[in-house]
Amino acid sequence: MLLKIENLNVHYGGIHALKGINLNVEKNKIITLIGANGAGKSSTLRAISGLVKSSGGSIIYKGEDITTVKTTEKVKKGITLVPEGRRVFANLTVYENLLLGAYLRNDKKEIESDIEYVYSLFPRLKERVWQHAGTLSGGEQQMLAIGRALMARPELIMMDEPSLGLAPLVVKDVFNIIQEIHKQGMTILLIEQNANAALNIADYGYVLETGKIVLEGPGKELAENEEVKKAYLGS
């Protein structure tokens, strides 16, 4: 097991956002978390990457308890997060954004070849290397955000709603890319509002409701589940 979460709790002031969730992420799998707004999906990823402090429970990564480890250290250990809303550095060029993804690495040559690899995944980025990231379209920014996360050479890549606010055609591209990097051996923990698309590519899925996991199972099975269909798939 690459990542094992046990009884994770998160509080924001008086709000109990995560009420003891258990979650397993197996190596080389796509795992998805679905649920409505405010169900605690983002909080889960933010707690795993250390951006918010958990108020209970444990996060075990490769057999090591990393619950209280700092974000920087987690990146070093191979956990990276593509944040919600893309959050590219608008005042930096596309190239600089990619370099920042490799901030903790010092192998210049390898970094350059990884940048070439990112360009091969996203040819559009190559055309815009010297542009400020703020001038990119939403879809391009999402690609840059994913490319930037890949630059850290992570083992686990977490994505917070990568399809949010994108045109349907671009959403399709993004899901293709997710499958593409998965094929190359990446483990992916994916959050989506677009439950249908997410469950279709996921090996395993969890359904979150007001801070609790209410349902789990293989992606295809969840997609067929009547309750899930009613609540999230709109049929």
Residues that bind other proteins (CB under 8 A): 49-51, 71-72, 75-76, 80-81, 83, 87, 89-92, 96, 99-101, 103-104, 148, 152
CB-wise, 102 or 228, nearer to other proteins? Answer: 102
Closest Cα partner for 222 from 199, 203, 201? 199
CB-wise, 99 or 215, nearer to other proteins? Answer: 99
Smallest gap, in angstroms, from Cβ of residue 140 to other proteins?
17
Determine contact, residues 32/219, Cβ cutoff 8 Å: yes
Q: Dihedral sign, CA of 23, 25, 29, 32?
A: positive
Determine contact, residues 104/76, Cβ cutoff 8 Å: yes
- Alpha helices, DSSP H only, in the chain? 41-48, 71-77, 94-101, 108-121, 123-127, 138-150, 168-183, 195-201, 219-224, 226-228
Smallest gap, in angstroms, from Cβ of residue 88 to other proteins?
8
Smallest gap, in angstroms, from Cβ of residue 75 to other proteins?
4
CB-wise, 110 or 227, nearer to other proteins? Answer: 110
CB-wise, 49 or 194, nearer to other proteins? Answer: 49
CB-wise, 103 or 220, nearer to other proteins? Answer: 103
Q: Dihedral sign, CA of 92, 98, 99, 104?
A: positive
Smallest gap, in angstroms, from Cβ of residue 229 to other proteins?
34
CA distance 88 to 79: 18
Smallest gap, in angstroms, from Cβ of residue 74 to other proteins?
9
